Amino acid sequence: MNGLDTLSKQRLEKLEAVKQEGIDPYPNTFPVNATVRDIRKQFGEMTPEQLENVTDRFVLAGRLMSIRDFGKAAFFHIQDRTGRLQAFIQKKTAGDGFSYLKKLDIGDFVGIKGKPFRTKTNELTVLVEDLQLLSKSLQPLPEKWHGLTDVETRYRQRYLDLIMNPVTRSVFEKRSAIIQTIRNFLLARDFLEVETPMMQPVAGGASARPFKTHHNALGLDLYLRIAPELYLKRLVIGGMERVFEINRNFRNEGISTQHNPEFTMLEFYQAYATYEDLMTLTEEMIGHVVQALVGGFAVEYQGQKVDFTPPWRRMTLRESLRTVGGFDDEFLRDPAKIRDFLEAREVQVNGKEGLGKLHTGIFEVEVESKLIQPTFIINYPLEVSPLSRRRSEDPTEVERFELFIVGREIANAFSELNDPVDQRERFLRQLEERKGDEENPPELDEDYVRALEYGMPPTGGEGIGIDRLVMILTDCPSIRDVILFPLLRPEKRGSE
RNA sequence: GAGCCGCUAGCUCAGCCAGGUAGAGCAUCGGACUUUUAAUCCGGUGGUCGCAGGUUCGAUUCCUGCGCGGCUCACCA
């Protein structure tokens, strides 16, 4: 028998002992009337003398996190969704409840009834008059001092991570608050929140490799979406002039600290807005989120100070290649030299790339990681932007920006291409480039082109990677720290 | 996919370099204890050292392969 079997067996025996006494170890309900936070808020400032005059009784419930037993009295902590609170129970005043505690284990859920007081060391504590088991725990919790630090266990058994690490809970509370703030910001600007298909016959709107699935009754192959873009723009065509969706995208690519196969994206579209308007809106929206979260514009990420005070730096891609990347114009005009440069950095080139693709290639290698403060990089090559409107000043470029913070791409936006003829040509060129890719069979979304043929108003659209934004605002180094259940290989269990 | 690092009790970690089949703290079990808070004191239980091979009289330790994880790179408009 291994140690865990021993510990669980002991707990099962205690469970049986409790049952023998006619106690239900899994009672159905327990009406609480206070949380730990309530008690702290109401009594945290009171003196011991004031607390003595409290006549109200409070009913709390939570997980038993520690016990310090003194024979005829004991201290323990309970933890609920709002925090931890100490309780004190003594034989003299709690009688049966006291002997009952001895049968419980750390990890069990308990309900307590009592009143607040202060101990000799001045800690706010509940003097317990009644104690009840609410749910038995059969697995031992990690140790009280070091807690749970093993990252693999934290990801695989997130419930344990949440029980043991308040910081983890806090990250996900902040994540929820960030998303709520964004939602409210957009709703206040008359955007309509919508949901579009996760399962799509043609995986469009980005160029990632999709996950494939199958609908049995229809005998239909489908893809999990890599982006909602083409559907959201159909809605703009349909007259929903301001729409947004916050939901999952799925990309069948490698996993890293920046990439999870399913991740959350905000996409929004605003008719009669240009990419210029969206830059301003982005500053306002993210600025608003940062303020709501930290009460200012200053954030520290992994030891780097990031200042979100608007306006943020705006720079064309070419300019960034010159000033940040240190490339001169002669180099930037010479595809052969750029190819050599990229090959020297072990970046794969196939010789077919145009200058535009090569420029974004060296941007990723030499510039991206240096953009620490929020920076809009604007005016991308047409070649790498099949869904964006051309710049009237230079039709080889498009009205597009990407937002970079701490060296990472956080947002991608453009004035949308609404010329159906141009769009069809660009799709066809894309199909030509992708020919022979078995994982990502090229297909043209005919219905999307047809929709454009009905007419789309001039529109600005943007996507923001929510997970990456949350990482920066919660100081998390890995995307797995901001996704409750990140994808891991299945664990191999025992003898199976 | 590649390189590097890790995997020892429920948890957090020693031990491995210089091979002799394992230790600590916490948790847990028994005992003492009515204001502790990493409670304290006394005494116990608990491990196929990630898995499989190899070398060796003998492997947690050395070698090889595999698994899982982490980081970096690659991939990813």
Going edge to edge, which strands form the sheet with A313-316? Answer: A192-193, A242-250, A262-271, A459-465, A408-415, A397-405, A375-381, A313-316
Nearest to A132 by CA among A59, A37, A38: A59
Q: How far is the CA of A74 from the C1' of B42 (A)?
A: 20
Q: Measured from the CB, is A146 under 7 Å from any atom of strand B? A: yes
Query: How does residue A246 score in pLDDT terms, banded at 50, 70 and 90?
Result: very high
Q: Measured from the CB, is A316 under 7 Å from any atom of strand B? A: no
Nearest to A479 by CA among A471, A491, A469, A487: A471
Query: How does residue A234 score in pLDDT terms, banded at 50, 70 and 90?
Result: very high
SS3 A267: strand
The pLDDT score that the predictor gives to residue A440 is: 63
Beta bridge partners of A379: none
Q: How far apart are CA A391 and CA A400, in angstroms?
A: 9
Q: How far are the Cα atoms of A147, A223, A249, A259 from residue A204, in angstroms, in the given order?
A: 45, 10, 11, 19
Pairing of strands A304-307, A298-301: antiparallel
Q: Measured from the CB, is A352 under 7 Å from any atom of strand B? A: no
Beta bridge partners of A116: A126
Q: How far is the CA of A466 from the C1' of B38 (A)?
A: 38
Q: How far apart are CA A451 and CA A444, in angstroms?
A: 13
Q: Measured from the CB, is A29 under 7 Å from any atom of strand B? A: no
| List of E strands, A262-363 | 262-271, 298-301, 304-307, 313-316
What φ, ψ does residue A210 adopt, rounded to 5°? -95, 165
Q: Which nucleotide is nearest to A251 (CA to C1')?
A: B76
What φ, ψ does residue A412 adopt, rounded to 5°? -140, 125
Q: Measured from the CB, is A339 under 7 Å from any atom of strand B? A: no
- For A429-461, what is each residue's pLDDT tens digit? 888 877 766 656 668 899 999 999 999 999 999
Burial of A45 (0-12, 13-18, 19+ CB in 10 A): exposed
A window 281-310: Cβ near strand B (< 7 A): none
- For A170-225, what is each residue's pLDDT tens digit? 999 999 999 999 999 999 999 999 999 999 999 999 988 899 999 999 999 999 99
Q: Is A320 left (phi over 0), alpha (psi -120 to 50) or beta?
A: alpha
State the ipTM, two decimals.
0.92
The pLDDT score that the predictor gives to residue A199 is: 95
Q: Measured from the CB, is A493 under 7 Å from any atom of strand B? A: no
In terms of CATH, what superfamily is A6-141?
Nucleic acid-binding proteins (2.40.50.140)
Q: Measured from the CB, is A125 under 7 Å from any atom of strand B? A: yes
Residue ranges of domains in chain A: 6-141, 163-324+371-481
Listed as ranges, the nucleotides of chain B within 7 A of a protein C-beta are: 1, 6, 9-13, 25-29, 32-40, 45-48, 67-77
SS3 A242: strand
Can you say whether the dihedral through the CA atoms of A85, A91, A97, A99 is positive or negative? positive
The pLDDT score that the predictor gives to residue A496 is: 31
- For A68-99, what is each residue's pLDDT tens digit? 999 999 999 999 999 999 999 999 888 788 88
Q: Token pair 């929903």 is at which residue?
A: A240
Residue A492 has pLDDT above 70, yes or no: no
pTM for this entry: 0.94
For residues A260-281, average pLDDT: 97
Q: How far apart are CA A145 and CA A294, in angstroms?
A: 29
Pairing of strands A58-69, A375-381: unpaired
Q: Measured from the CB, is A444 under 7 Å from any atom of strand B? A: no
Q: Which nucleotide is nearest to A160 (CA to C1')?
A: B11
Residue A114 has pLDDT above 60, yes or no: yes
Instruction: Name the class of domain A163-324+371-481.
Output: alpha beta
Residue A412 has pLDDT above 50, yes or no: yes
Least confident of A200-209, A288-297, A409-418, A479-488: A200-209
A window 220-279: Cβ near strand B (< 7 A): 251, 253-257, 259
